[in-house]
Amino acid sequence: MNTKFKKLNLPILSFSILLLVLLGASCSKEKNKTIAYNSPETIPVSRKMIAELTSPPNVPKPTGKRKAKNLIVNMEILEKEGEMTDGVKYVYWTFGGTVPGSFIRTKIGDEIEFHLKNHPDNKLPHNIDLHAVTGPGGGATSSFISPGHEAKFSFKVLNPGLYVYHCATAPVGMHIANGMYGLILVEPEEGLPDVDKEYYVMQGDFYTKGGNGDRGLQPFDMKKAVNEDADYVVFNGKVGSLTGDNAITANVGETVRLYVGNGGPNLVSSFHVIGEIFDAVYVEGGNFINKNVQTTLIPAGGAAIVEFKVDVPGTFILVDHSIFRAFNKGALGMLKVQGDENKTIYSGKQEEGIYQPEGGGIQEMPIEKGVVNTEGIATTFEEKMEYGKATYMQTCFACHQAEGQGIPNAFPPLAKSDYLNENLNRAIDIILNGKTGEITVNGEKYNSVMTKQDLTNEEISNVLTYVYNSWGNSKKEVTPAMVMSRRNIH
């Protein structure tokens, strides 16, 4: 090879070597990045940071693109009396003083330094099992503490997702049933996509010695719990926790993300928002994202993340679509959305007509001439009360409840109702024609909808006689003729 040829190709050779070196360095970086992503236990932490903990329905600020930290979580266990619903007290066992417990937000690779304190006024030992922990008992074996003591243990979060935590002290089901559960979120390295609003909603089932609505301090009933016979199924620890003034809010055009958990201890949740479709569901809180979902199943001890954009204003109802739980046991919440209407998406009521389904309930054989149909016609006051109660339990019970107590912030009470007792004709008119708009009952404002009822004059007279002669009301007796006179006016 001559010298001239060497001189001509030396720069080319040098450039090739440099390119190979750079490519090797780049591949090495990409390889290291892949190792870090697939092996989160190797992610280094940069410094200590106190975790922000929030009470439901609030969540801490997103982690964004921050580096992994030595995250210090301080949590106190409190046994405290609270209100399950109006007039019903219950002693909750809590993480952080609320049911569900404080929301914990972390990032993959964080090293968690967990401080669990059992308040000295508590009566029982407790611990914590975090489903986000890789280790014996999810931390339960390291955190068992008596009242007045503190436990400290550490773990590294290795898997992104939304996880349940709960007490795992025997009897485990009893501790969970008394409210000892919450959620811990592990965000991926890049964080979650930005949304406008985030909220924390967690379902639980409760078992009391008294029946649903029985007043006073109600103790836990182990037999009902074993039989999975829940008196209350609620969001965020009590009936009405997410209704009325406690409703969560958003504006038209915003994207809402709900972190939804199910503490159980027994029942699976069929989570649904009436009037919305979930644009995205992180199924069981993991990586798989399902699209355009109407209702998502959340197992006891499980969670899901749901996201949707709100396009029109109004009140959207959160329910467990095992629907008697929503309207009879308390699993009902509200998302109130403000903003401009969009008639293209939703017009509102445009026209009302007559709808007659072909169900067996309205198909009757002709009555033979000379035969009088006396079925359901009361001839005594006692029969009016008997037939009225039957109609009430079939038609009114779901909203107004067995003892006329109603559902706080949703449906008004009929028991000792000043609104009801003030005007009998108004009560008849509401059954005949329905009622929309705000009313005040016993000093509380309600703004729900009462649909008109397809009942006969006899049925209306019986059910109103039953209501007026129950639960401390004014003991009026309503006749079919009184109902007919109001029906003729309209």
Residue ranges of the binding site for Cu cation: 126, 131, 166-167, 175, 180, 321
CA-to-CA separations, 181 to 96, 230, 285, in angstroms, rounded:
10, 17, 16
Determine contact, residues 105/51, Cβ cutoff 8 Å: yes
What's the start-to-end Cα distance of the chain, in Å?
Answer: 112
Query: Binding-site residues, please?
Result: 126, 131, 166-167, 175, 180, 321
Q: Residue 126: name the closest of 176, 58, 183 by CA.
A: 176
CA atoms within 13 A on the CB side of 229: 12
Report residue 455 as tokens. 């009942």
Determine contact, residues 320/271, Cβ cutoff 8 Å: yes
* Backbone phi and psi for residue 22, each to the nearest 5 degrees, phi listed first: -65, -45
Question: Is beta strand 289-293 parallel, antiparallel or unpaired with respect to 216-217?
Answer: unpaired
Report residue 179 as tokens. 């409210």
